[in-house]
Amino acid sequence: MPISLIPSSAEYLRFLPEIILVVSGMLLMVLDVVLRKQAREIYGHLSLVALVAALAGAVYAYSSPGPAFSGMIVADGFATFFRVLVIGVGILTVLSSYRYLNREGAEPAEYHALLLLSIAGQCVMVSSSELIMIFIGLEISSISSYVLAGYLRDDKRANEAALKYFLLGSFATAFFLYGVAVIYGLTGSTYLAAIRVSLRGGNMAPAPMFAGVAMALMFVGLGFKVSAAPFQIWAPDVYQGAPAPVSAFLTTGPKAAAFAIFLRIFMTAFQPLVADWYWWLWGAALLSMTIGNFAALTQSNVKRLLGYSSVAHAGYVLVALTAQSHVGTAAAMFYLAAYAFMNIGAFAVVAHLSGKGERFLAVDDFAGLAVKQPATAALLTIFLLSLIGVPLTGGFFGKFYIFRAALGSHLIWLTVLGLLNSAVAAYYYLRILVVMYFRDPSEATAQIEPLPAGLRAALVIPALGTLFLGIFPNWVLGFADKSSMLAK
């Protein structure tokens, strides 16, 4: 690794999105003091501008791909894909938060600042190729997320969610850090590439048992972050308790970033020991799909239902990881993008319908939505069909691509069980469709207000994205394919 203590301008360029996000996050905090209580909307607008700038920065950074800061950061295709993804998630979250924050009377400034910082952390995570850097990104992202989950201070459920998320989350981070420490002790390096070289070093390689311990520790930490079974217990509670736009964010942004580092660490550093952790992944994938789907079957709270469904979807992505191939990596990337669209869309509808204080969260509260607001119902239909995996939606194509990768790696049983799982899942998504279209309006849909502009954008953009990924998957798939070749 060439060491130069003064980073070149190209290196700063490769770190551009993170710089933009952190600076504007800080700026928002300062502005809050300066502006006091005037103009609530301005924070949303500013954070939107910051995110769009960061998005442009991420794309621009890819114009000179390569490592930065002694190789701790790498702006490759993989990083760019995920940076664009998490920043995009941020944009949609901001759009769906305008009305929500007003309605709940929450302070907008810190909310947006925390959101920007969390996204900055995720950008660091996905673009780092060194364990300490990954850990720092993980912490930035997580700590902001804990606060966001409990942002509605007076809400009991939000408090419970935040506390649970914080306690279990820090525990998991500790596991991860412990794993990093062990692997550093074994290999003398925190660079993923160096670890890989060391682990495949023949006679000089560290004892497999110790390497296994390190891997297991990191697997637990990451498994928690992606809410994979058997580390999923917290997920439904947190996603149910957190404010709806935050739940949308947590199930997509931090999760996608966690999967990105999962991929990077296990596909590069631990790749030599694939035989050891292959079955862990296999089991976690199957467990996540099964537990998530079967638990969701009996839920009557929509947020909780989507929470369990998010566990199940983590399972599908783990199937792609189990496939151990470039196709699998590309499939995971594509699926996370599709999932981000459809899940944010679904949560945005929940945020819209639930009313002040999120009173209306039962599945039955969706009754008659199709009569009261046909357009909202149609958009939610697109998201639900995509979550089920009906063709011409991103969810279907993603699932298809994942199971194609799985079958390509001879994971026949995992494929069959996974696809049957998706048939089970159809039932609980259909329940929402049923009440929405086949029942008469409820108290919740009777009081529903017209869609505000921000929320409308937060619904239409994901819907178009879902359809776009389902009908014209070429473009995103091509990029995912190209950038799934991780630097070894």
Partner 1 sequence: MNLLDIVLAIPLVGFFAVLFVPRAAERAIRIVALLFSLAAFLASLGLAFGYETIRPGEQFVTDLIWVISPNIHYHVSLDGLSLWLVILSTFLTPICVLISWTYIQKRSKEFFAFLLLLEVGLTGVFAARDLFLFYVFWEVSLVPMYFLIGIWGHDRRIYAAVKFFLYTFAASVLMLTAIIFIYNRAQTFDYSSILAMLGSGSLHFSYYEQMWLFLAFFVAFAVKVPIFPLHTWLPDAHVEAPTAGSVMLASVMLKMGTYGLARFCLPMFPGAARACAPWIVVLAIIGIIYGALVAMVQPNMKKLVAYSSVSHLGFVVLGIFSFTQIGMDGAVYQMLNHGISTGALFVLVGYLYERRHSLAIADYGGVAKAAPWLSTAFMITMLASIGLPLLNNFVGEFLVLQGSAQANFHWTIFAAIGVILSACYMLWLYQRVFYGETPDEVRRHVFDLRPREWAAIVPLIAMMIWMGVYSESFLPAVRRTDAHILDQTTVNVPVRVRAPALPTTLASTRAQVVIHAH
Alpha-carbon gap, residue 481 to 476, rounded angstroms? 8
Min dist. Cβ of residue 401 to partner 1 (A): 7
| Residue with smaller CB distance to partner 1, 65 or 408 | 408
Alpha-carbon gap, residue 371 to 330, rounded angstroms? 40
| Residue with smaller CB distance to partner 1, 433 or 457 | 433
Min dist. Cβ of residue 477 to partner 1 (A): 7
Torsion angles phi and psi, residue 64, rounded to 5: -130, 75
Min dist. Cβ of residue 403 to partner 1 (A): 6
Alpha-carbon gap, residue 297 to 453, rounded angstroms? 33
Which residue is it, tokens 């994979």?
228
Sign of CA dihedral 127, 26, 227, 214: positive
* E strand or H helix at 460: helix 453-471
Structure tokens at 254: 């931090």
| Residue with smaller CB distance to partner 1, 49 or 423 | 423
Alpha-carbon gap, residue 316 to 249, rounded angstroms? 19
Min dist. Cβ of residue 374 to partner 1 (A): 8
> Taking a C-beta distance cutoff of 8 angstroms, is the pair 448, 374 a contact?
no
| Residue with smaller CB distance to partner 1, 194 or 392 | 392
CB atoms near residue 303 (< 10 Å):
24
What is the Cα Rg of the chain in Å?
A: 21
| Residue with smaller CB distance to partner 1, 46 or 321 | 321
Bridge partners for 191 per DSSP: 130
| Residue with smaller CB distance to partner 1, 188 or 374 | 374
Min dist. Cβ of residue 282 to partner 1 (A): 17
Q: Is the peptide bond before 230 cis (omega within 30 degrees of 0)?
A: yes
Alpha-carbon gap, residue 173 to 221, rounded angstroms? 6
Min dist. Cβ of residue 45 to partner 1 (A): 33
| Residue with smaller CB distance to partner 1, 108 or 395 | 395
Min dist. Cβ of residue 397 to partner 1 (A): 8
Quote the DSSP letter at residue 237.
Answer: H
User: By the criterion CB under 8 A, which residues form the site for partner 1?
Assistant: 370-371, 374, 385, 388, 390-392, 396, 400-401, 403-404, 407-408, 412, 415-416, 419-420, 422-423, 426-427, 430, 433-434, 437-438, 473-474, 477-478, 481
| Residue with smaller CB distance to partner 1, 341 or 400 | 400
Min dist. Cβ of residue 2 to partner 1 (A): 36
> Taking a C-beta distance cutoff of 8 angstroms, is the pair 371, 352 a contact?
no
